[in-house]
Amino acid sequence: MQQEKYHQQITSTILMVLPTDFDYNEQTAVDNEFMSKYSEEQISYQICQKAIQEFEEAVKKLRQNDINVLVFDKRNILELKNTIMPDAVFPNNWISTEPTGQSLEGTGAIIIDRIYRRAYAARSQRADEELFKNWCQTFNYEAVMFDAKSFQGNPIYHTNIIMSLGEKYAVVCKECINYGQVEEVLRKMGEGRELIFISINQMEQGLCGNILQVKSYINENRYLVMSKLANENFTIEQRKILEKNGKIVAIDIPTIEKIGGGSARCMLAEIFLDQKI
């Protein structure tokens, strides 16, 4: 089916949340294999301070590349001051915005193709099939749901660990997608985009699927935001393809990745809303 081109795929404005309560979250660790608990010798306060330092350096680097970063600090909100939020640094996992002014919760489980009006989701405890299809119907997206397993054979907790969609590229770990479904998924993802295949090791150990393309707010420059770990785990040939789509901006976030179980893309909530003065 030929899809109607609709919205822009990338934005120049992103929302990031200061990790004031950053810590290992026992609740989310149930189905997130990417998390690692810190040793008994390490102190929770020290871990949090490391995460805050990594966050602030990341914001600084993004802003140096003319990316508009909005930082949310819950300490400025009276109702939230005493609410503990160990995973708040990952806003992409709980909100998305549309140019229409609408918003969506839970986009870590959904990869949105705004150009061809498709939405991709891997089945997991965090991606209910009925709710996903209802969302697609409401927002007028074609639903593309599939099964994906980790090296250990468990459902992968979020789709944005498996794949990333830019304007003209798509990074995807085809090895983890169900054999009977992968051909159709790749056919749809490859429409109008150059496919970059990453291995399960690159996905799990390098977090190479958790990247995001953004643009400058003052010119037409494009950027690919990823962690230093992901950048180091892409091959030279893969990086050459990515660099055709923009400058790589690699942020160093080892504490956030290891303890939190998410990488650069999870930290970036795209803002497509029109600015109100």
- pLDDT tens digits for 155-189? 887 899 999 999 999 999 999 999 999 999 999 99
CATH number at residue 178: 3.75.10.10
Q: Is the pLDDT of residue 39 over 80?
A: no
In the chain, at which residue ranges do the beta strands (DSSP E only) sit? 13-17, 68-72, 96-97, 103-104, 111-113, 118-122, 142-146, 163-165, 169-172, 194-197, 212-215, 222-227, 247-251, 269-270
Does a structural domain hold residue 150? yes
Domain with 211 in it: 13-270
Does a structural domain hold residue 4? no
Does a structural domain hold residue 262? yes
Does a structural domain hold residue 3? no
DSSP string covering 87-145: TTT-GGGT-EE-TTS-EES-GGG-EEETTTTEEEEE-BTTB-HHHHHHHHHHHT-EEEE
Does a structural domain hold residue 107? yes
Q: Write down the pLDDT at residue 277.
A: 54
Looking at residue 30, the DSSP 8-state letter turns out to be G
- Residue type for position 38: Y
Q: Write down the pLDDT at residue 247.
A: 98
Give the residue with greater pLDDT, 151 vs 247.
247
Q: Phi and psi at residue 41, in whole multiples of 5°? A: -70, -25
The number of domains in the chain is 1
Q: Write down the pLDDT at residue 107.
A: 62
In 3D, which of 190, 66, 174, 63 has the Cα closest to residue 116? 190
Q: What number is the average pLDDT over the span 61-90?
A: 86
Does a structural domain hold residue 246? yes
Burial class of residue 162 (count of CB atoms within 10 Å of its CB; 0-12, 13-18, 19+): buried
Does a structural domain hold residue 5? no
Does a structural domain hold residue 67? yes
Express the helix, strand and coil content of the chain in percent, nearest 5 each. 35, 20, 45
User: pLDDT-based confidence at 31, cuts 50/70/90?
Assistant: very low
Q: Which long-range contacts (CB under 8 A, 24 or more apart) does 187-193 make?
A: 188/116, 188/118, 188/144, 189/113, 189/120, 189/163, 189/165, 191/3, 191/116, 192/115, 192/116, 192/168, 193/165, 193/166, 193/167, 193/168, 193/169
